[in-house]
Structure 1
Amino acid sequence: MSNIITEIEKEILPQNDFKFSIGDLVDVHYRIKEGNKERVQIFSGVVIARKGAGSRETFTVRKVVEGEGIEKIMPVHSPFIEKIDVKKEAVVRRAKLYYLRGRSAKDTRLKSKIIAKKK
């Protein structure tokens, strides 16, 4: 049984090779189907957690809209994710940033790394 699962994971994993880590400010381009139409919705926020491994790996993105915190848990290797753009990288010393939940939007700012622009 486990051999079948590992073979399926090998086929799925190379499709999405996203490079991001905890604390990064990202734009997730997520494909949504509404009736007959498909559109791409951009969810922008801070990655506060990454869980699992292989095809079962998920990540949590948090953003604050009008004073309310919104979190989305998405599979890393979902076929609905078109791309993940890293807008800002952060320096964090924790694997999970759940402590950001109790803070205001202004208090959730993280120390950022300086990223060289690619030519």
Structure 2
Amino acid sequence: MHAAVREIEKTQIKRKGLPEFRVGDTVRVSLRIVEGKTERVQDFEGVVIARKGGGVREMFTVRRVSYGIGMERTFPLHSPRITKLKLVRSGQVRRAKLYYLRDLRGKKARIREKRLAPGFEALLDQPGDEAPEPAGETVEAAKAE
């Protein structure tokens, strides 16, 4: 893509702080819906089965099964209609697109949950600090000698 187009797209991306999510993760998308003169927020929770594009044009597809009917919605990642995007749980998959879930029913359509080893959850909950200074001589001190 041309460098000028990339620079213009960077100015168009206004949303910062979106959670990092991948294909296989379960997300809850809060979408602002306008019906006549009234507005309301509707949640759509499901499994991310695809991510496409990049930059301003990035899209993701979410699938859920409601009352035995599979529903899929595709959202632009940087849409102003998305009020909130929350990562519910992380899934462990080995594919970039999960279109095969359309043909599966029941327990076969489940996705394995990504779990951390015991003790790592506590590390993730703590606020991150700066990297500690290395002990011993620095490179400049070694050169000075």
The alignment's TM-score, normalised by the length of structure 1, stands at: 0.88
* Residue pairs, 1:67-86, within 5 angstroms: 67-86=68-87
**Would the aligned equivalents of 1:12 and 1:55 in 2 still touch at CA under 8 Å?**
yes
CA deviation after TM superposition for structure 1 residue 104, in Å: 0.8
Distance (whole Å) between structure 2 residues aligned to residue 17 and residue 56 of structure 1: 17
Post-superposition shift, 1:107?
A: 1.7
Greater percentage in helix: 2
- Aligned residue for 2:48, secondary structure, equals strand
Distance 1:8 1:105 in 2: 45
Distance 2:14 2:53 in 1: 17
The residue correspondences of 1:27-106 to structure 2 (distance < 5 A) are 27-106=28-107
SS at structure 2 position matched to 1:107: helix
Q: Which residue of 2 aligns with 1:24?
A: 25
Q: Residues of 2 paired with 1:106 and 1:35: CA distance?
A: 40
Alignment-mate amino acid for residue 36 of structure 1: K
Identity %: 48
The residue that corresponds to 1:6 in the other structure is: 6
How many pairs does the alignment contain?
117
The structure with the largest strand share of the pair is 1
Higher-Rg structure is 2
Per-residue deviation, residues 27-83 of structure 1 (Å, max 9, x unmatched): 001111111111110000000000001111100000001111100011001011111
CA RMSD of aligned residues (A): 1.8
Give the Cα–Cα distance (whole angstroms) in 1 for the partners of residues 40 and 16 of structure 2. Answer: 19
Gapped regions of structure 2 (runs ≥ 5): 127-145
Residue type of the alignment partner of 2:75? M
Task: For structure 1, list consecutive stretches of 5 or more residues without a partner in the other structure.
Answer: none
Structure 1 ranges of 4+ moved more than 6 A? none
- Which stretch has the larger CA shift, 104-113 or 70-79? 104-113
Q: Which structure would you say has the larger RCO, counting Cα contacts within 8 Å and 6 or more residues apart? A: 1
Which TM-score applies when normalising by structure 2? Answer: 0.73
CA spacing shift, 1:32–1:16, aligned 2, 3 Å? farther
